[in-house]
Amino acid sequence: MTELTRRGLLAASAATTAAAATPAAALGWPRKAATPAAPASWTPDATTVASMIRNREISAVEAVEAAIRRSEALQPKLNFMVNSDYDRALEAAKKGGQTGPFAGVPFLIKDLNDYAGTPTRNGSGGYRRTAPAAASEPWVEAALRAGLIPIGKSASPEFGYLPTTEPLAYGPTRNPWNTDRSTGGSSGGSAAATAAGVVPMAHATDGGGSIRIPAANCGLFGFKPSRGRLTGNTDMRVIALSVGHVDSLSVRDSAAMFAATERTETGAPYRPVGLVAKPLRKKLRIGVLSASGNGREPDPEVRAGLDNAVKLLEGLGHRVSETKWPIDSARFGQDFLTLWSAGAAMDIQAMARLLGRVPTPAEAEPFSLGMAEMIAKAPEGAVEAAIARLAADSAGYDRWFEDLDVIVSPVLTKPPVPLGYVSGDVPFAELSARLTDYVGYTPLHNVAGAPAMSVPLHWTADGLPVGIHFAARAGNDALLFALAYQLEAAQPWAQRKPGVRA
């Protein structure tokens, strides 16, 4: 059972339509060359920023300095960062020598992952005084090789367990579309900073929806890769739920980062995809799934987004038909919670060893403690039985694609919920019920190790983003990227900007 810690379970057991020639002034940077004016509402993506640096319209130092200014201006409003690293970022930019597709582009690393020289606090008060990490995790090293310059660590809920970013120790991260609403989680700090234009993309991880949910809530593109696709993601077991990637403004940023961090060594589970750069040309068989895993139909605004997405897909020539979950989804939800709770129990034990005593409620959140208690009271063999059933569910997921290419559904049953709705201090039983009701579309893909993505295709009447979810068979990442390019071209989202932005 020692492999079931969150760090072990989820990690160790684990082309946009805007022109690239955007004036530096559009980013708040000094103008280096006369270029055509960009739309006032458009924020440059990471590919554009990297191009500007290569073409010497701006320098990496100017890019990082501008990101720091934006961060300082918006951090008090959004609380997206838990640890700044401005001095080292500026030092790296001045030193230069960055190579790769994103050389010199400012970036954020998620608080659940080690970046050498900065503490990893795991969104938890119990790690408030932890020492800086001695080494970076493999994916973070790959991001540095891609040329990115981290300016700090982005906020996460405690241990990444909740679909909102409201760590009790560090305060809630606020959604730039409406600061009373949740960003989603667990990559909510990264999503908020990207949506607000602080950085053009940021690190995210996904162990049950944590790339896709914040992307859905913040109007971004969020792609969850197949298990084993990217650097550092080598454990192919069902319990290896978590994968790392980014939330981004554009499809091409995500695709380029995927290519830059892809595993290409002998023995990798899949043949490398490389850079996917073109929209889909063939017609797909697409299954439509409206009800969540517990049978709940989405709220009317989310249903409207799904219906509009279906019309868009049909207009593009795809064959669309209704489908159903290929598993006993109610039982799956309980088994997933059991596995999740086993990780929480290991995390609480690790915190106790770090502190030299049992964590207090000020150091470990009620929901984390509640999951650990649930496992302590579970019958002997309950976790192992849940894992065996989840392995069977993974096989059921694969059979889903014998007659379909892609599944489309909502990401969540609701638009971005108010802060506090699914925070870690809600009583355990009530919070568990809310989570079952709210998050039922995304966890199966982590168990199956399959690619999935949230695409920003809908906004509510009061201006909140609603992501639409697309999923494919394990290993079929390239198909989803090509479909994403097609959707981005057919229904662009780059012109939509939140009220709180740089």
Please list the active-site residues. Answer: 110, 186, 210
What is the maximal distance between C-alpha atoms in the chain? 70
State the virtual CA torsion across 54, 58, 62, 66 in degrees, nearest 10: -100
Chain centroid, CA 4 distance in Å: 21
Nearest of 181, 177, 183, 167 to residue 216 by alpha carbon: 183
Question: Is the preceding peptide bond at 186 cis, omega within 30 degrees of 0?
Answer: yes
Helix, strand, coil proportions of the chain in percent (round to 5)? 40, 15, 45
Distance, CA of 202 to CA of 190 (rounded, Å) = 5
Q: Are the C-beta atoms of residues 132 and 86 closer than 8 Å to each other? A: no
Residue 469 has phi, psi (to 5 degrees) of: -100, 135
Rounded CA Rg of the chain: 21
Structure tokens at 332: 């799956």
Q: Is 125 helix (H, G, I), strand (E, B) or coil?
A: helix
Please count the other Cβ atoms lying within 10 Å of the Cβ belonging to residue 115: 27
Nearest of 458, 497, 500 to residue 43 by alpha carbon: 497
Chain centroid, CA 339 distance in Å: 20
Name the residue with tokens 């960009």. Answer: 38
Name the residue with tokens 């440059």. Answer: 44
Q: Are the C-beta atoms of residues 338 and 386 closer than 8 Å to each other? A: yes
Q: 444: part of which helix (H) or strand (E)?
A: helix 443-448
Parallel, antiparallel, or unpaired: how do β-strands 319-322 and 285-288 relate?
parallel
Distance, CA of 8 to CA of 350 (rounded, Å) = 11
Counted residue by residue, the chain has a size of: 502
What lies within 8 Å, CB to CB, of 403 at 6+ separation is 285
Start-to-end CA distance of the chain, whole Å, equals 46
Distance, CA of 7 to CA of 126 (rounded, Å) = 15
Nearest of 225, 182, 219 to residue 204 by alpha carbon: 225
Distance, CA of 155 to CA of 171 (rounded, Å) = 9
Q: What is the DSSP letter of 10?
A: I
Name the residue with tokens 């709940």. Answer: 296
Name the residue with tokens 């940077």. Answer: 29
Structure tokens at 189: 């700090």
